[in-house]
Amino acid sequence: MFNTKLPTLNELPTSRQLLRSTVIAVAVAAALLVTVVMPSEYVIDPTGVGRVLGLTQMGEMKEILAEEAAADAAVQPVTAPAVQAPVPAQLAPQEQVAAAPVAEPVAEPQPALKSDEVTVTLKPGEASEIKLEMLDKSTVSYEWTANGAPVNHDTHGEPYNGPKGYYHSYSKAKQVKGDKGELTAIFDGTHGWFWRNRSNSDVTITLKTKGEYLSVKRVI
């Protein structure tokens, strides 16, 4: 048996009060969505409040970390399969083997000493890649600088006709404004630099190269 007193009709909220409470709840939810959830989760800040509170920067960092993790997973080095040496066939004692014709040696292109200066401008979130065509053991001196915000970079190379997805990384770093040194190719192929602008402003990158290479081109 319950002794709780039931509310009277006068104590119950009116339809107008219920409607007003519903409108207030919807307005509060919408405000939280625009000022908190959208900046922190989707980097969408139409009011500017999210950036003042630091929520937009938190959302941008989430996106950067997710993209970098996906990029690192997508470009993991693939080891080329080992090639087993063929076993020479045994010949009968008196079997005569005809001498194979000697092929004339084909002259390979020799790298000439070159020097170039290339400039690229990256908008926020944009990437670029410049490659040198180099032969095995060729050496190039290089220096690049970023005018503006720091950038992420990866110096790497891919061999001619190598396995799909295979590359060799020489060096890489995040949020740096320049790099210089010598790059010695460990195989015939393309070798160079990849940059990505993770800042909110344009960045101009100037690359200077000098050494033994066949050509230079902007891939991206």
Output the pTM of the full model: 0.52
Domain boundaries, position 70: 15-74
Is residue 188 situated within a structural domain? yes
Asked whether residue 213 carries a pLDDT value surpassing 70, the answer given is: yes
Same domain, 118 and 213: yes
Do 143 and 155 meet the contact criterion of CB atoms below 8 Å apart?
no
Enumerate residues 6+ apart whose C-beta is below 8 A from 6. none
Task: Measure Cα distances from 149 to 119, 122, 140, 178 in Å.
Answer: 15, 11, 26, 11
Q: Which range has highest mean pLDDT (10-24, 75-89, 104-118, 179-193)?
A: 179-193
Q: Note the pLDDT tens digit of each residue in 4-25.
A: 666 666 667 788 888 888 989 8
Same domain, 60 and 129: no
Q: Is the pLDDT confidence value at 79 over 70?
A: no
Identify whether residues 70 and 136 lie together within a single domain.
Answer: no
Please compute the mean of the pLDDT values over residues 58-71 and round it to a whole number: 70
8 in any annotated domain: no
**Is residue 153 domain-shared with residue 201, that is, in the same domain?**
yes
Quick check: is 3 in a domain? Answer: no
Check if the beta carbon of residue 111 is closer than 8 Å to that of residue 197.
no
Ranges 15-19, 75-79, 154-158: which has the least confidence: 75-79
pLDDT at 106: 55
Query: At 30, which helix (H) or strand (E)?
Result: helix 15-32
How many other C-beta atoms can be found within 10 angstroms of the C-beta atom of residue 188?
A: 19
In this structure, the answer to whether residues 59 and 118 fall within a common structural domain is no
Q: Which residues pair with 211 in a beta bridge?
A: 114, 140
Q: What letter represents residue 74's amino acid?
A: A
Q: What is the pLDDT of residues 31-61, one digit of tens each?
A: 888 887 787 777 788 888 777 777 776 777 6
pLDDT score recorded for residue 51: 78
Q: Total structural domains in the chain?
A: 2
What is the CATH number for 210? Answer: 2.60.120.680
pLDDT band at 3 (very low <50, low <70, confident <90, very high): low
Residues 66 and 118 grouped into a single domain: no
Tell me whether residue 90 is in a domain.
no
Say whether pLDDT at 160 is over 80: yes
Give the phi and the psi of residue 56 in degrees, each rounded to 5.
-65, -40
